[in-house]
Structure 1
C-alpha cells in the first residue's frame, strides 16, 4: 500500500512507509496537510489536518514577564556592522527595517524566551540578544535585532 501526501491541493510525494516529515516550513504559517491511501489505480478518501507552525524563538538575557508582549526592531546593514561603503546602495545606516512583536513564553534565571508573532525568518532559532551599550540586541553578519 502506498500513501499520497498533499500540502493543500498540491501532491508532495507518494510514499510506502507510514511516516513523512515536511521540511522548509515557514514560521507562524498555517498549512493544510492530507494523506490518502493509493493502490496504484485509485486513491482513497483523504484525511486532512490544518496546523500552524510557531514563530521563531529568540533568547533575551533579561527577565521579562511571561505572557507579556515586547517590541523589537530588525534591520540590515546597521552602522558599525559592515565597513562604510560595503553596504548595498541605499542601505547606509540600516535598511530593510521591520518592526516585530514577540510574546514572552518563558523566563527563568535572568533569561527569557520570546516567540515572534509573525512569519519573520531572517534569524536563526534561539538567537541570543545580549546587553550592549544599554540595549538588548543580537548581531548576525549584516543583520541586527534590537529589543525596544
Structure 2
C-alpha cells in the first residue's frame, strides 16, 4: 500500500502520566505503519525538535525496537553511555535486554527518524531513571504504575 505522508495525522501526545509528559514535549509522530494497515508491528516517522527527547529511558520485556535516522543528529543514551547518530545510522534494542535507551536531539535543527517495534502481547516496559512501569492492558496498550504497584 502506498502512503501519502501528508494524509497521515501528526500526534504530539503521550500516554505517560502527568509528572513525565513534559519530558517528551517537542516530539511528534506519524503512525505510518497504522496508515498502511500493519498489525504485527508498528512504524512511526518521529520528529524531535531541538532539545526534545524520544521517550523516557526504557527497555521492553517482550518487544524488539529498531530505529533509523532519516535526518538531523540524535544522541542515543544507553547504560553504556552516549552515541551520536547521524543520517543513515541505525540501532536495535532486543527484547529482554535490560539496557534502558532513548534519543535526545541536542542540535539546533529538527531531527527525524523511523521507529519500528513489534506488538507482542504481554509486553511491559521498565524505566530505570524514573519510578515508572508500563504494564500491559488486556485490550492492548499500557497502563502506568510506580515500581511499588501504586497507580499514577
Between structure 1 and structure 2, the one with the greater Rg is: 1
Structure having the higher helix fraction is 2
Query: One fold, TM greater than 0.5?
Result: no
Structure having the higher strand fraction is 1
Q: TM-score, normalised by structure 2?
A: 0.25
Q: TM-score, normalised by structure 1?
A: 0.26
